[in-house]
Amino acid sequence: MTILETSGLTKRYGRLTAVDHVSLSVEKGQVFGFLGPNGSGKTTTIGMLLGIITPSGGAFRMFGRDGGDELHAARRRIGATLETPNFYPYLSGRDNLRVAARIKGVAEDRIGEALDIVGLTGRQKDAFRKYSLGMKQRLALAATMLGDPELIILDEPANGLDPEGMREVREIILALAARGATIFLSSHLLNEVERTCTHVAILRSGKVVRQSAVRDLVAGATVASVASDDLAALRRIVAEYPAATGTEERGDRLFVHLADDDLASLNRFAHERGVTFSHLAVEKRTLEDVFIEATAKDAVGGAA
Ligand SMILES: Nc1ncnc2c1ncn2[C@@H]1O[C@H](COP(=O)(O)OP(=O)(O)OP(=O)(O)O)[C@@H](O)[C@H]1O
Ligand SMILES: [Mg+2]
């Protein structure tokens, strides 16, 4: 079931196209990472989904609904935080959640559970202004989950946190997903996304340049590093190898991008042509490698 779908969603600010024909599809149960460098259009896209920013073009559906009134109703099934959550600095964490619960029409007896999930039970009576950044982010997550939203939209939920804070946020997100929520989160913390998300879209200058399951993005992306005493012969056979999709040369090594992960076949191919490897190893690619490739200034665009 498709929970969120955008088609050709666009936002222009004068001559700048901040979000450029973004088409995304988020299915129920996914933890969907919306990735992109600074200024690539993540917050603007989320602002449009939440009805804070008016699109210049395109459309989107939530829970299969579009159009003004229907979207308004659909948004009640969403929990969201934008970059800087609004809380009253002088109120306690708990009282801030009471305000949030009242606005959302959620019973106050759900507050204890939300505080528990984000690990703020012990500090619930402290004023918000005394919270550390990590505690503020966790309180924002607690407010977001009030009312058991079916779709949770988070803009940079782990921004500015230390490794411990990031781990806590990751665990909260995974806990929400385990309870059945669909999650859409923007981030440029690739390690976090690789460990949390099931699917990603990568944005560059407002355009989606990749959209895929995390598993598929990182798999099908084996790089073999090879070396041989005869570098010229090595270059030649790698160029002829059918499953090679690209090569880079660093020092005396060739890094061969493969369409499969069959190193034995590469080895055999070379051997049959009289080239023996002095080194052959697989270099697993991370989401970071894929991200850097996809968002490089000279990268070729186009959704995968
Ligand atoms: N109100 C506005 N008026 C003019 N330009 C804007 C406005 N809001 C955003 N922009 C521009 O739109 C582009 C996308 O910005 P956006 O905040 O969506 O990026 P982002 O991906 O969220 O970046 P970050 O990772 O830094 O949060 C940027 O070039 C930004 O300067
Ligand atoms: Mg942003």
pTM here? 0.80
Q: Where are the alpha helices (DSSP H) in the chain?
A: 42-49, 68-75, 93-104, 111-117, 133-145, 163-178, 190-196, 214-218, 231-240, 263-272, 287-295
Task: Spell out the SS3 assignment of 39-77.
Answer: CCCHHHHHHHHCCCCCCCEEEEEECCECCHHHHHHHHCC
Beta pairing partners, 200: 33, 212
Q: Could you tell me the distance, in angstroms and rounded to a whole number, from the CA of residue 203 to the centre of ligand 2?
A: 12
- pLDDT cut 70: percent of the chain above it: 95
- What is the pLDDT at residue 165? 87
- CATH fold for the domain made of 222-284: Alpha-Beta Plaits (3.30.70)
Tell how strand 16-27 and strand 78-81 pair up: unpaired
Across the chain, how many H-helices and E-strands are there? 11, 13
Asked if residues 204 and 36 have their Cβ atoms less than 8 Å apart, the reply is yes
CB of 40 closer than 6 angstroms to any ligand 1 atom = yes
Nearest one of 263, 261, 274 to 228, comparing CA atoms: 274
CB of 47 closer than 6 angstroms to any ligand 1 atom = no
Q: 54-63, pLDDT tens digit by residue?
A: 999 999 999 9
CB of 204 closer than 6 angstroms to any ligand 1 atom = no
Nearest bound ligand to the CA of residue 56: 1
Asked if residues 62 and 68 have their Cβ atoms less than 8 Å apart, the reply is no
Residue 198 banded pLDDT, cuts 50, 70, 90: very high
Q: 70-115, pLDDT tens digit by residue?
A: 788 888 889 988 655 679 999 999 999 999 899 888 899 999 999 9
- CATH fold for the domain made of 2-217: Rossmann fold (3.40.50)
The residue nearest atom 14 of ligand 1, judged by CA position, is 41
The boundaries of every CATH 3.40.50.300 domain in the chain are 2-217
The residue behind tokens 């019973």 is 107
Which residue type is seen at 41?
G
The residue nearest atom 29 of ligand 1, judged by CA position, is 39
CB of 93 closer than 6 angstroms to any ligand 1 atom = no
Q: Could you tell me the distance, in angstroms and rounded to a whole number, from the CA of residue 42 to the centre of ligand 2?
A: 5
